[in-house]
């Protein structure tokens, strides 16, 4: 592949729902650790990439050395609106996720449902903490693609560590296995000891919270207690608070990767 043809190739990959564009070292690192299928890995400077891998992810030094190919700096700069400082970008295949099958399957850990999240960095931060807590998946409604390169950047590529998919219709939640719990500052205070691990935990949009439709179909409304005068937590922060309250209370912390 000629360097110049990479510019339209990355452009097409951004619009292709079967592909994921990884901008920077951390998304590539997690894609490799969680066995993504890489189609193209390009870097600005091979020696600099190997030095970074040696420092931050020695386990991946060899695969990165074999996969990454150096390209002209002026081409690299045109592969993303904001080329990453770490000087590496990649195209990977997205895993195929059946959102409905995920909803219907019995599970040992909650699924995070994000209703119409507006901020791609926030979506990524939710995926990242859900992966860290070993949640069963992240489903999002609304117009944003949870696999958008900016969400992958915010999630440090941890989309490859658990199922992440768009849910076309809120009504699909009716087919769920397990209770639907709406996280809402007006709900009953969270008791992590009684949280059903097979729950779907629904979080609302950044500005307006959960819709009436979702609240009406929920089995319960739960709040994260806050100091008086604070109206709400940030979306990803609230996902983190609930998942780790549950994890720590159950005494079943996720294991470290060997
Ligand atoms: C930035 S908040 C939305 C704020 C919105 N004005 C509201 O009142 O819901 C985004 C989402 O985070 C969750 N959230 C934030 N703080 C919360 C809290 N203290 N208790 C429960 N959920 C919370 C909710 O799901 C909320 O819809």
pLDDT digits (tens, 9 = 90+) for 180-207: 999 999 999 999 999 999 999 999 999 8
Pick from 191, 195, 201, 204 the residue to mutate for probing ligand 1's pocket: most ligand atoms within 8 Å of its CB: 204
Which of 69-78, 178-187, 249-258 has the weakest average pLDDT?
A: 249-258
Quick one: average pLDDT of 81-106? 97
pLDDT at 3: 84
CA gap 176, 101 in Å, rounded = 9
Q: With a 6 A CB cut-off, is 116 part of the ligand 1 pocket?
A: no
First to last CA, the chain: 36
Identify which of 63, 31, 40 has the alpha carbon closest to the alpha carbon of residue 131. 31
Give the model's pLDDT for residue 251.
82
Q: What is the pLDDT of residues 21-44, one digit of tens each?
A: 999 999 999 999 999 999 999 999
- 117 CB under 6 A from ligand 1? no
| Cα of 246 from ligand 1 centre, angstroms | 18
* pLDDT tens readout for residues 156-176: 999 999 999 999 999 999 999
Q: From the CB of 160, is ligand 1 less than 6 Å away?
A: no
For residue 256, pLDDT over 60 is answered with no
**What pTM, to 2 d.p., does this model score?**
0.96
The answer on pLDDT for 255 being more than 80 is no
Q: Which residue has a Cα nearest atom 6 of ligand 1?
A: 208
Q: What is the mean predicted confidence (pLDDT) over 74-89?
A: 96
Rounded to the nearest integer, the mean pLDDT of the chain is 95
- The predicted structure's pLDDT at residue 257: 44
Atom index in ligand 1 nearest the CA of residue 115 equals: 27
> What value does the mean pLDDT take over residues 236-245?
98
């Amino acid at each position: 592949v000629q360097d110049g043809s990479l510019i339209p190739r990355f452009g097409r990959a951004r619009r292709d729902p079967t592909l994921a564009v990884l901008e920077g070292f951390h998304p590539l690192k997690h894609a490799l650790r969680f066995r993504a299928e890489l189609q193209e890995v390009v870097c600005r400077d091979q020696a600099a990439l190997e030095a970074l891998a040696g420092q931050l992810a020695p386990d991946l030094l060899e695969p990165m050395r074999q996969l990454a190919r150096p390209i002209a700096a002026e081409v690299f700069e045109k592969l993303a609106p904001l080329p990453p400082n770490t000087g590496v970008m990649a195209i990977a295949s997205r895993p195929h996720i059946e959102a409905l099958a995920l909803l219907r399957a019995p599970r040992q850990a909650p699924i995070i449902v994000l209703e119409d999240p507006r901020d791609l960095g926030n979506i990524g931060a939710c995926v990242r903490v859900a992966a860290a807590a070993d949640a069963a998946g992240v489903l999002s409604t609304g117009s944003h693609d949870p696999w958008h390169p900016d969400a992958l950047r915010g999630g440090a590529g941890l989309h490859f560590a658990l199922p992440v998919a768009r849910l076309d219709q809120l009504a699909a939640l009716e087919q769920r296995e397990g209770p639907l719990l709406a996280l809402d500052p007006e709900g009953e205070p969270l008791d992590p000891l009684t949280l059903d691990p097979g729950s779907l935990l629904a979080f609302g949009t950044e500005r307006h919270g959960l819709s009436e439709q979702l609240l009406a179909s929920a089995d319960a409304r739960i709040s994260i207690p806050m100091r008086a005068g604070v109206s709400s937590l940030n979306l990803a922060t609230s996902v983190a608070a609930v998942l780790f309250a549950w994890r720590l209370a159950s005494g079943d912390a996720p294991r470290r990767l060997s």
